[in-house]
Amino acid sequence: MFPIILSDRMRGELEGLLARTLLAKEHARALALLWLADGHPVAEVAELLRVSRQSVYNWVDRFERRDGQDLRDRLLDAPRSGRPPTR
């Protein structure tokens, strides 16, 4: 899985998303991918974002498995089972 290699285009898309997203989850995941691509270790990224290392691994795995999809779709949570949210 590591190191993460981002194309110049993908790096630019992630940096653009950082500038315009209002969603904390999207922001954290995009930032994690950029930091990992810059060579920062998973433990450091997890500590800076105050998440578990496993969360970072999950984000990267999901991002890579969803190759070819829209950037935002690649950063979304995995589908969850259970009761749908109520209004």
Model confidence pLDDT, tens digit, residues 28-73 = 999 999 999 999 999 999 999 999 999 999 999 999 999 999 999 9
Q: Global pTM?
A: 0.86
Is residue 3 predicted with pLDDT exceeding 80? no
Q: Let me know if residue 12 belongs to a domain.
A: no
For 64, the token pair is: 């890579």
- Count of domains forming the chain: 1
What pLDDT is recorded for position 85?
77
Q: Would residue 13 count as lying in a domain? A: no
The b-or-e profile of 12-43 (16+ CB within 10 A means b, else e) is ebbeebeeebeeeebbbbbbbbbbbbeeeebe
Q: Which two tokens stand for residue 43?
A: 């433990």
Host domain of residue 47:
23-75
Measured distance CA(6)–CA(12) in Å, rounded = 9
In a domain, 66, yes or no: yes
Residue 63, domain member (yes or no): yes
Q: Which residue has the tokens 């969803």?
A: 66
| Residue 64 within a domain | yes
Task: Decide if 8 is inside a domain.
Answer: no
Distance CA 68, CA 58 (A): 18
Question: Is residue 51 domain-resident?
Answer: yes
